A and B are shown apart, each in its own frame.
Chain A
Amino acid sequence: MIPGSFEYHRPSSLADAVGLLSSLGDDALLVAGGHSLIPMMKFRMAVPEHLVDLQDVKSLKSISLDSGQISLGAMVTQAEIILSDELHVACPILREVSYQIADPQIRNLGTIGGNVANGDPGNDMPAIMQVLDATYILTGPDGEREIAAREFYESAFFTARQDNEILTTIRFAAPAAGHGSSYVKQKRKIGDYATAAAAVIVTMSGDTCASASIGLTNVADTPLWAENAASLLVGSSLDGETIKAAADAAKAITDPADDGRGPKDYRTHIAGIMVQRAIANAVDRAK
């Protein structure tokens, strides 16, 4: 399948990239790793007249950890996230999720920025950004603005990003020392999007849950932050009944599609199981 025709641009600075997007208008799309966009162009679900390739914008390539704040440049690849030991120590859920995305070849090109900006409910990173309460930094012709990941997703493929804005950085506080985290994903095969998946971060104070955050992937037309479900865990000893109640509360906010991954009820059921497993793993890993 050969995609439609387009003009190719490869700016070498963020300012040039923003300038190109503004001057080319609606007909231009950004390309990062291309591993969501090119398949869509092959199917003519995307028919841009211009592609603006971000690979030479080196300022988007950095990973930084500074006094508890983590910043990931939009062009950091999933493979680079896996390779960063520093990142793994500070926030292990990032390596865990990356290993569950697609396959080695795709992770070499697929970027964190493309993954979170894409707006496909099947993408795994957005649920992680829900639990981490990440902030996305966007640069447009009028400068920079910030938006919470929890406010970013509107519906499938619709986000708060304007067409002329570039997502440059994803920023969040490293989870507290001693936290436990887990991302559990059910998929039919390697390289498949989730039937349902859950991200959980907890901190414990002795045997009591001191804080909790839960996110869900691919069980609605946006990633979900399961705020109520997580609040049920806080203050409890995470006994079986409480975990079950949290899973039920998470299931209650899902609205998955009936598709090749299974009927709606099945996917909702799986979402509950993913939540229970992710809580159990996270608690095991918490200190």
Chain B
Amino acid sequence: MSEININMTVNGQKIEASADPRTLLIHFLREDQNLTGPHIGCDTSHCGACTVDMNGMSVKACTVFVGQANGADIVTIEGIAQADGTLHALQEAFRQHHGLQCGFCTPGMITRAYRLLQENPSPTEEEIRYGISGNLCRCTGYQNIVKAIQVAAEELSVKEAAE
């Protein structure tokens, strides 16, 4: 099968590549772009470990063909901290509040929460739980994940008010 040319923006950088059309976005990011932050958990669109931001929306990269993402603007967990390494408020809050144990779900969880807080900057606990309902965690019982997102939401709104 003929390869297709891929042009997309990944974490702010323009990239060009060619790929077999059957390549899933998650494999393209992990294997071709060496962005191994987004994980493959279930490979069946259930767990959310592969969540990335595509054109300002959270999507499950295990269920998107690379061609469908052609031309898109993609953000992965690697693009969420600042360039100098300063962690995003969500990353900091997950660290401070034990929002992770094994860490397998964490890149997807934070990438989803990153978009959720842009869609809804001050979510209720229920809205957070519903907003991350496409992301599964086998370790934490979610309690500290929800707490970390709440703390990050407060941090970000304080920062916003100061600006």
Which chain A residues have a beta carbon within 8 Å of chain B's beta carbons?
Answer: 1-8, 10, 31, 34-35, 38-39, 42, 51, 53, 55, 79, 102-106, 108-109, 190-191
Contacts and interface: CB of A to CB of B under 8 A. Distances in A.
Given A42-B43, A42-B44, A4 B134 contact: no
B141 to A, nearest CB: 15
A203 B96 CA distance: 54
B36 to A, nearest CB: 18
Contact of A108 (B2, B58, B70): B58
A105 B134 contact: yes
Interface of B: 1-2, 4, 20-24, 27, 43-46, 48, 51, 57-60, 63-65, 67-68, 70, 112, 116, 131, 133-134
Contacts of B27: 2
Given A7-B2, A31-B68, A190-B134, A105 B48 contact: yes
Contacts of A3: 22
Given A2-B23, A38-B65, A109-B64, 5 more contacts: A2-B22, A5-B20, A103-B133, A104-B58, A106-B60
Given A6-B21, A53-B68, A103-B134, A39 B45 contact: yes
16 contacts: A1-B43, A5-B20, A7-B21, A31-B68, A34-B68, A39-B63, A42-B44, A102-B134, A103-B48, A103-B133, A104-B58, A105-B45, A105-B51, A105-B59, A105-B112, A109-B59
Contacts of B133: 103-104, 190-191
